[in-house]
C-alpha cells in the first residue's frame, strides 16, 4: 500500500544517484527481497568509501559530499527519505564491499 508516484520518485532519485555517481566501468547492483513483513530495496554503486560524517549527513537537504563528481542540488535524498518515512519505512546509507549502499525498508502491510 502506498502512493505509487511518490515511491517512484523516491526510488528513481536513488537509482539516478547511483548511475550518475558511478565512474566509468563501475556497476550498480539493485536487490529486492522481503524480510519480516518489510520489503527491502538495496541500491549499491561502485564508489570510494564515504566518511562516517558524510554518511550521517547524506539525507540532509542541500548536503553534497566534497568528492561529488556530478552536479546536483543536494535535495534528492532528503526528499526520498521523507517519502519513505511517510510510508512508515526507513532508509539508510553505508559503505559496502561493492560501494555506497542505500537501503530502503518499506512495510508491506498496514496504513498508508
Ligand X SMILES: Nc1ncnc2c1ncn2[C@@H]1O[C@H](COP(=O)(O)OP(=O)(O)OP(=O)(O)O)[C@@H](O)[C@H]1O
Contacting residues toward ligand X, per CB under 6 A: 17-18, 21, 45, 47, 58, 63-65, 68, 72-78, 100
Interface of this chain with Mg ion, residues 76 to 95, rule: CB under 5 A:
76
Asked whether the beta carbons of 26 and 46 are under 8 A apart, the reply is: yes
The radius of gyration computed from the CA coordinates of the chain, to the nearest angstrom, equals: 14
Report the run of H or E that residue 55 belongs to, with start and end.
helix 52-57
What is the closest distance, in whole angstroms, from the C-beta atom of residue 106 to ligand X in the complex? 19
Q: Nine-digit cell at 100?
A: 555506497
Interface of this chain with Mg ion, residues 5 to 24, rule: CB under 5 A:
17
In the complex, the residues that contact Mg ion under the rule CB under 5 A are 17, 72, 76
Amino acid at each position: 500500500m502506498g502512493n505509487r508516484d511518490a515511491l517512484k520518485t523516491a526510488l528513481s532519485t536513488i537509482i539516478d544517484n547511483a548511475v550518475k555517481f558511478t565512474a566509468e566501468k563501475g556497476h550498480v547492483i539493485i536487490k529486492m527481497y522481503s524480510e519480516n513483513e518489510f520489503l527491502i530495496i538495496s541500491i549499491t554503486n561502485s564508489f570510494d568509501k564515504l566518511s562516517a560524517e558524510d554518511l550521517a549527513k547524506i539525507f540532509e537537504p542541500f548536503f553534497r559530499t566534497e568528492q561529488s563528481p556530478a552536479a546536483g542540488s543536494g535535495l534528492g535524498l532528503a526528499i526520498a527519505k521523507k517519502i519513505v518515512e511517510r510510508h512508515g519505512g526507513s532508509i539508510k546509507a553505508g559503505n559496502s564491499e561493492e560501494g555506497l549502499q542505500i537501503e530502503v525498508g518499506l512495510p508491506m502491510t498496514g496504513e498508508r
